[in-house]
Amino acid sequence: MESDIALFRRRLLRNPRQISAIAPSSRTLARAMTLGIGPGSGKVVEFGPGTGRFTEALLARGLPPENLSLFELDDEFVPYLRRRFPGVAVHRAGAETAPDVVEGEVQTVISGLPLLSFPKALQEAILSGAFRMLGPRGTLVQFTYGPRPPVPDAMIEALGLKVNKGHKVWANLPPARVYRFRRS
């Protein structure tokens, strides 16, 4: 099987707008994004898993594969993820379709999507969809490379969310910050 870094670089060169990163997420960022998830965490949905760095961290924390659903659009990442993570549901579909696909209440949504590079309508569809799936105490975990939350303030207010600003992950290229979003 091709290495995740080789696949990532090849896909980045072919479709830089879709990939929107210069390197795969680091293992340190993956640990920060998956903090608090374990065998009893219920259903988890991942948006934009790419080569599966966060997926790998979720499974390493003991999340059962049958409790994990991935939503990925890239034609080559999808079969790669299916081979690499047997038992995990991998959907070749946009994150905005997740509420129509995933059954039951979700506890956590992990997002590796470059939300700020998406049109506002798509951002809103993804975020409102995530919170339709999430249980009352559910959490959306999202990272960004910038200094502000990866969701515009107006959208945070419109969706009735509160934001927990996590620590900066310096061991990532580029450094990233993790945010956790919950209902107010």
Q: Given this model, what pLDDT does residue 173 score?
A: 86
Closest CA to 146 of 125, 106, 175: 175
Domain count, the chain: 1
Q: pTM of the full predicted structure?
A: 0.88
pLDDT tens track of the chain, all 184 residues? 555 555 554 444 455 554 455 556 889 999 999 999 999 999 999 999 998 999 999 999 999 999 999 999 988 889 999 999 999 999 999 999 999 999 999 999 999 998 988 999 999 999 999 999 999 999 999 999 988 999 989 999 999 999 999 989 999 889 999 999 999 9
Structural domain boundaries enclosing 119: 4-183
Give the position of tokens 């990866």. Answer: 150
Where residue 99 sits, what CATH number does that domain have?
A: 3.40.50.150
Quickly list DSSP for 54-99: HHHHHHHTT--GGGEEEEE--TTHHHHHHHHSTTSEEEES-GGGHH
Q: Which residues partner with 72 through β-bridges?
A: 92
Q: Given this model, what pLDDT does residue 19 score?
A: 47
Count Cβ atoms within 10 A of the Cβ of residue 26 and give its class: 0-12 exposed, 13-18 middle, 19 or more buried: middle
Q: Given this model, what pLDDT does residue 15 score?
A: 56
Q: Given this model, what pLDDT does residue 20 score?
A: 54
CA atoms within 13 A of residue 115's CA, in its CB half-sphere: 27
Contacts of range 148-156, beta carbons closer than 8 Å, 24 or more positions apart: 149/179, 150/115, 150/116, 150/179, 151/115, 151/123, 151/127, 151/179, 151/181, 152/120, 152/123, 155/120, 155/123, 155/124, 155/127, 156/181
Q: Given this model, what pLDDT does residue 10 score?
A: 46
